[in-house]
Homo-oligomer: A and B are copies of this chain.
Amino acid sequence: MKLIALLLIASALCWGQGAAACKPSSLNIPGAEYPCVHPDNRATFRMVAPDAQKVQVRVAGQGFDMVKGDDGAWTATTTPLVVGFHYYIVVVDGARVADPSSRTFFGGGWDNSGIEIPEPAEIDYYLPKDVPRGQVSQRWYLSKTTGKWRRSYVYTPPGYESGKSRYPVLYLMHGWGEDETGWHIQGHMDVILDNLIAAKKAKPMIVVMDNLNAVKPGEDGRIFTSVGRTPPPRPAATSGNAPAAPPRGGGLASFTGATFTEMMLTDLIPMVERTYRVLPGRENRAMAGLSMGGMQTFLTTLSNLDKFAYIGGFSGSSGGRGGFDAKTSNNGVFADAAAFNKRVKVLFLGIGSMEGPGTRNFSEQLTKAGIRNVYFESAGTAHEWLTWRRCLHDFAPRLFR
C-alpha cells in the first residue's frame, strides 16, 4: 500500500511538472495556453472542433493526428521539434486552416500559423534587450516599372531621427510565398541589428525590405491592389518544411527576376536614396536574401557589380541549375577571380545543416576557382527562419568594413 501511495504521489508530481512546464508559444494570441512547448521541445497543440471527424496538425514537415477530448477539443503532442520558428497548419476534416490560437504569419502565400521553439536561454541575439532600438517603417512608393503602389519596410538604426549621419544600406529579401513583412516579423531583423549595433559588432546601417514580386503591366502574373503583391512560384529546391499553400483560384506568375532588378534599380534604390540619409556608392550598398530572395540577390547583384559590393545568399545559393562553371556561370562574372575579389568585399553563402550539401559544394567550387567567399552553416536547422536569423547575425557584422 505504501509503495502504491508513493507511486501515485510521484506520478502526480510528474504530471504536475509536465503541465506546468509546457509553456505557451510566444507566438500565441493573447490568453491562449496552447500550443505550448515542453522543455524537451515537444509541442502540444489544441484545436476546438466539436463536430469534426478527423483533425491533424502539420508542423516541421510532419503530421500528427489529434485526439478528441471530452470537451470537444482535439489535442496532439509532437515529437521534439527543431528549435526556431515553424509555420504550421491544422487540417479539420480536410480543410487546411490556421490555428486560431496562434498569431498568423504570411508564408506559403497565405496567413498561416507559427510556433516558436526557443533557443536555449543563453542564446539571445534575436531577443529584445534594454539597448537603443531602431525602428521599422512602412514606406509606400509608386513604381514606374510596375505602375503600382509598392510597400517597403525600412529599418533605420537607433539615433537616425535625431542625428545627421548618413548610413550604408542593406537590401534584404524574403523568400517564396512570403512578403516584405517577413524579415521584421518572423525574422526579428530589427532586434538582431539593434543588439549587434549596441555591442558595436555591426556598423549602424539602414535595411530595406521590399517585395520580390514585380510584374510589368501586361506581363504574366497577378497583381493585387490592396498590397500590390503577387506570389512568385515555389523555387526548385525548397526542403519540405513549409506547409503547402491552400488551394487558390489561379496559377502562379512566372519568375525570372529581371523585372524585380529593373524595378529595384529604377524605382526602389532612387526612392530610398532621396528619402533617407544614405551613403552613396557601391561600397555602401549590400543585398542579401533568403531562399528565392537569395536567388534574386545573385541575379541582381552579379549583373550589377558596379552597384553592389556585398552579397549574401541565405539558403538561396547553390550555384544555379546546370552546375557551376567558373568561366561561364552568371555571364562569366567569376572568370577573373582577382578582379571579382577586388570588387566584391563579401560573398556570403549561408545554409541550414539539414538542407543538404548544395551550398557547401558551391562554396567549395568557388574557392577552388579562387573566388573568396564565406560559408556559414547553421547547425541543426532546416529551410526555416532560424537558419536565416543566424545567417543575418553572422552576415551583418561583415558589412561596410
Contact = CB atoms under 8 A, between A and B. Distances in A.
A251 B30 CA distance: 10
A58 B319 CA distance: 49
B51 A51 contact: no
Interface in A228-260: 229-231, 246-252
Contacts of A26: 224-226
How many copies, total? 2
Given A27-B226, A130-B142, A226-B26, A33 B250 contact: yes
Given A98-B98, A135-B137, A31 B248 contact: yes
A261 interface: no
Nearest to A223: B30
B93 A49 contact: yes
B111 A140 contact: no
A284 interface: no
Contacts of A106: 103
A252 B90 CA distance: 26
Contacts of A135: 137-140, 154
A88 B249 CA distance: 20
Contacts of A29: 109-111, 248
Q: What band does the interface of chain A fall in when counting residues whose beta carbon is under 8 Å from B?
A: 35 or more
By CB atoms of chain B within 10 A, which of A31, A102, A222 has the most?
A31
A48 interface: yes
A279 interface: no
B48 A247 contact: yes
A230 B30 contact: yes
Contact of A137 (B73, B101, B137): B137
B101 A104 contact: no
By CB atoms of chain B within 10 A, which of A26, A95, A139 has the most?
A95
A50 interface: yes
B252 A31 contact: yes
A141 interface: yes
Contact of A246 (B51, B94, B101): B101
A93 B52 contact: yes
B48 A95 contact: yes
A95 B94 contact: no
A157 to B, nearest CB: 13
A29 B128 CA distance: 31
B136 A30 contact: no
B133 A136 contact: no
Nearest to A27: B226
Contact of A224 (B30, B95, B101, B184): B30
A96 interface: yes
By CB atoms of chain B within 10 A, which of A33, A103, A111, A141 has the most?
A111
Contact of A30 (B33, B34, B231): B231
16 contacts: A26-B225, A28-B224, A31-B222, A31-B230, A33-B249, A33-B250, A47-B95, A48-B94, A49-B94, A52-B52, A55-B95, A97-B100, A100-B112, A101-B246, A116-B226, A135-B138
